[in-house]
């Protein structure tokens, strides 16, 4: 059977480059076109030197896009929604990696993004692209929105525990530490090397836009409203997210009950790994060893005296937090094995 044709809009950015790298190795797909308004006519390796001699495509203008089987939108937030009608005409499957269609409530965009959504009538037509929560809805889907990298890390860490009924309805307090690539390819004062190097900088003590995704996705899992307080900190790493969350238990439980909760939730999930060793350097989740992989590692520590569980979750923000997760969603939508093209295990050291 002939391979299907996939094109990437905004392929010169970090998530676009990762999507291109993955699709080049996907056995069911051939890459049709890659676009970049700033690098039109240049070869792919001009933006992604790791793809030298791996990809012979050059960047085209998005105005020259041709019909294809699936279209990945890897654009800055706010750009996909403005041209969505044209993109919907070009491909039967749209996967938008930006935030433009992540939230189902139009009012949430005003709250978390500070603007009125230009196409509120389309919000409900996009499936929130987190397979571990919405696998069945993704099967055969034609419109998929990627999830935010910090939100993905937090949701995957917390979902089994909030669903278990073991957590008291006290505030859930989370902090995400994230590498510089989450800021995108366009340089700014916050990513200028003298400013970023050696930094541990709190950039969103509260009000981070990914909080909107947590409030959308986690309360339905819990079956009740949740109080969620979320902070974000920039660290010197290039890739990676580590979320540390504090949840208080309704009653004293044995540690094995926590293991049971997570094993029941993630025992058969292809990209979820439980990490909680008694000793060793990597006894808890560590983003460094997840670079380039589509895995999310989750671990926990039970503070029995304090009635608290500290949940730690980690992933590569450009992979399971963006492009890798998008390819996983594509596989589900097309009926292919979920792990196709995503088998890379990460690097160590």
- Integer Cα distance of 142 and 93 in angstroms: 4
- Cβ atoms 326, 318 nearer than 8 A: no
Q: How far is CA 289 from the centre of its chain?
A: 17
- The count of residues in the chain is 349
- Cβ atoms 23, 87 nearer than 8 A: no
Q: How far is CA 159 from the centre of its chain?
A: 15
Catalytic residue list contains 149: yes
Q: Exactly one of 55, 74, 149, 329 is catalytic; which is it?
A: 149
- Integer Cα distance of 114 and 263 in angstroms: 39
Map tokens 């590498």 to a residue: 179
Residue 309: C-alpha distances to residues 167, 176, 248, 301 (Å): 9, 16, 6, 6
Question: How are beta strands 127-129 and 143-146 bridged, if at all?
Answer: parallel
Q: Which helix (H) or strand (E) holds 96?
A: strand 93-96
Strand partners, 5: 30
Structure tokens at 83: 């041209």
Neighbouring C-beta atoms of residue 137, cutoff 10 Å: 16
Buried b (16+ CB within 10 A) or exposed e, 226-242: bebebbbbbbebebbbb
Handedness of CA 216, 221, 226, 228 (dihedral sign): negative
Q: How far is CA 334 from the centre of its chain?
A: 20
Where are the alpha helices (H) located in the chain, listed in sequence order?
14-24, 84-90, 106-112, 131-138, 149-163, 193-196, 211-222, 255-266, 323-334
Q: State the catalytic residues.
A: 149
């Amino acid at each position: 059977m002939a391979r299907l044709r996939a094109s990437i809009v905004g392929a010169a950015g970090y998530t676009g480059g990762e999507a291109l790298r993955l699709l080049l190795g996907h056995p069911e797909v051939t890459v049709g076109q890659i676009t970049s308004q700033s690098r039109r006519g240049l070869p792919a390796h001009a933006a992604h030197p790791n793809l030298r001699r791996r990809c012979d495509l050059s960047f085209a203008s998005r105005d020259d896009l041709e019909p294809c089987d699936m279209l990945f939108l890897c654009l800055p937030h706010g750009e996909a929604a403005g041209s969505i009608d044209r993109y919907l005409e070009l491909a039967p499957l749209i996967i938008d990696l930006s935030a433009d269609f992540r939230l189902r409530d139009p009012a949430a965009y005003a709250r978390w993004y500070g603007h009125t959504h230009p196409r509120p009538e389309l919000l409900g037509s996009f499936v929130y692209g987190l397979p571990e929560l919405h696998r069945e809805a993704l099967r055969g889907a034609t419109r998929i929105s990627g999830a935010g990298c910090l939100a993905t890390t937090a949701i995957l860490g917390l979902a089994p525990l909030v669903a278990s009924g073991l957590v008291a309805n006290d505030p859930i307090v989370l902090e995400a530490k994230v590498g510089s690539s989450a800021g995108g390819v366009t340089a700014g004062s916050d990513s200028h090397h003298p400013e970023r190097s050696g930094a541990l900088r709190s950039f969103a003590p509260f009000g981070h836009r990914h909080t909107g995704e947590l409030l959308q996705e986690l309360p339905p899992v819990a079956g009740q409203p949740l109080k969620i307080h979320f902070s974000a900190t920039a660290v010197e790493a290039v890739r990676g997210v580590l979320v540390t969350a504090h949840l208080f238990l309704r009653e004293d439980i044995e540690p094995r009950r926590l293991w049971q909760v997570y094993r029941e939730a993630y025992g058969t999930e292809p990209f979820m790994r439980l990490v909680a060793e008694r000793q060793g350097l990597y006894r808890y989740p560590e983003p460094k060893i997840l670079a380039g992989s589509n895995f999310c590692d989750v671990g926990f520590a039970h503070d029995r005296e304090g009635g608290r569980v500290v949940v730690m979750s980690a992933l590569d923000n450009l992979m399971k937090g963006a492009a890798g997760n998008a390819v996983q969603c594509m596989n589900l939508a097309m009926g292919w094995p979920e792990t196709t093209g995503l088998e890379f295990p990460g690097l160590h050291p």
